[in-house]
Chains A and B, each alone.
Chain A
Amino acid sequence: AQTVTQSQPEMSVQEAETVTLSCTYDTSESNYYLFWYKQPPSRQMILVIRQEAYKQQNATENRFSVNFQKAAKSFSLKISDSQLGDTAMYFCAFMKRGEYGNKLVFGAGTILRVKS
């Protein structure tokens, strides 16, 4: 079974600064995806960024980038130029590649507060 651990229950950052959220996972699979999802207060969860395990290059989406360390089973999210709208719960998630049930295994989440 896969597990995802987010060791930072809460983080805060000043507007325009950079913050890094940590995530580690445990799996015996070699072929999988990793994701960061954002859940704003009272709003639906949306995908921030995804990484395919076979790709060595770290994924980047505008102000969001990841540091994927496959051997260490680490997958951190860096948010640059933080904005007030980035305030949300952030979930790291794992998905095994396969034919059926591409279900997500989530960490417990990190609450990020961006301060003005």
Chain B
Amino acid sequence: DTGVSQDPRHKITKRGQNVTFRCDPISEHNRLYWYRQTLGQGPEFLTYFQNEAQLEKSRLLSDRFSAERPKGSFSTLEIQRTEQGDSAMYLCASSLGGPVAFFGQGTRLTVV
């Protein structure tokens, strides 16, 4: 499968725990994006990488959120001290610099 891959697909965690999600973009795609989608809403931009550099972060990305893309390949999104409001679908997308982004299937996070 050469599409965008996200792991895990589902995560249930207790409030206060830390969670980490992984995204493997399409090979050679230099741009990688994270979005958050809550139930009944469209995705909202969280952050963007060009190669290994994190070039933009949304104000939605609080201090409890951190994202990395070491070596410009896969990316991780970590949420520390999870809260119930963090429950959402976390989407990763990648592109080769052009306007078309390819999305993964997402990681659905449930904080209980």
Contact = CB atoms under 8 A, between A and B. Distances in A.
Interface stretch (A39-47, A54-62, A65-73, A78-86): A39-47
B76 interface: no
B99 A44 contact: no
Interface in B17-51: 31, 33, 35, 40-45, 48, 50
Interface of B: 3-4, 31, 33, 35, 40-45, 48, 50, 55-56, 91, 95, 99-106
Interface of A: 4, 33, 35, 37, 42-47, 50, 91, 93, 95, 97, 100-109
A91 B3 CA distance: 20
A44 B106 contact: yes
A35 B100 CA distance: 9
B39 to A, nearest CB: 11
A42 B44 CA distance: 18
